[in-house]
Amino acid sequence: MGKKGIETLVGLFVLLGLVGLVFLAMKAANLGSMGGGDTYTMQARFDNIGGLKVRAPVRTAGVTVGRVTGIALDSKTYQGVVTMAITSSHLYPKDTSAKILTAGLLGDQYIGLEPGGDDANLQPGDTVAQTQSAVVLENLIGQFLTDKAGAPAGAASNGGGK
């Protein structure tokens, strides 16, 4: 094999390596998992969206059924309005609830949809009525510290003074 043949093989090997790196980057960023299939949109309103981001997954029972496509602030109610693209093969009852959940202890946030039992389904463009906002770790720690600071000196250590 001549020098040109070896250089061609090395170039091909480097090109395949770059393609593999792009593929892994797409998978790590969750950009390659939702294909260009048919989707419909739904909205949900939350008092606090925490660290939810556009392109975050929408899951039911741990299975990704859509993506967050937009996040906006309603200037009248001061709620976060989250727009989701859901695959057309997944229809949800009108009494479905949406929660902002965290993957793991400190992981990324996603929308969890829990289907209800209503016979009628949500239509494209409908708003999920029942929502639960994100649990913000800093707020929980602040509440815990405030509760402990306000407790009587001996109440926490000996179970109420006995």
pLDDT of residue 12: 93
pLDDT at 44: 92
Q: What are 41-82's pLDDT values in tens digits?
A: 999 999 888 888 999 899 999 889 999 999 999 999 999 999
pLDDT at 154: 58
User: Quick one: pLDDT at residue 19?
Assistant: 93
pLDDT, position 17: 93
Q: Which of 148, 97, 100 is nearest to 122 (CA)?
A: 97
Q: Which residues of the chain have pLDDT under 70?
A: 29-36, 105, 151, 153-162
Long-range contacts of 71-78 (CB under 8 A, 24+ apart): 74/45, 77/45
What is the Cα–Cα distance from 24 to 26, expressed in whole angstroms? 5
Cα–Cα nearest to 93, from 60, 128, 118 = 118
Contact 105, 83 (CB under 8 A): no
**pTM of this prediction?**
0.66
Q: How far apart are CA 108 and CA 40, in angstroms?
A: 24
pLDDT attached to residue 140: 74
Question: What is residue 158's predicted lDDT score, i.e. its pLDDT?
Answer: 53
Please give the pLDDT value at position 83.
93
Residue 29 is predicted with a pLDDT of: 66
Quick one: pLDDT at residue 155?
56
**pLDDT for 18:** 94
3-class secondary structure, 66: strand
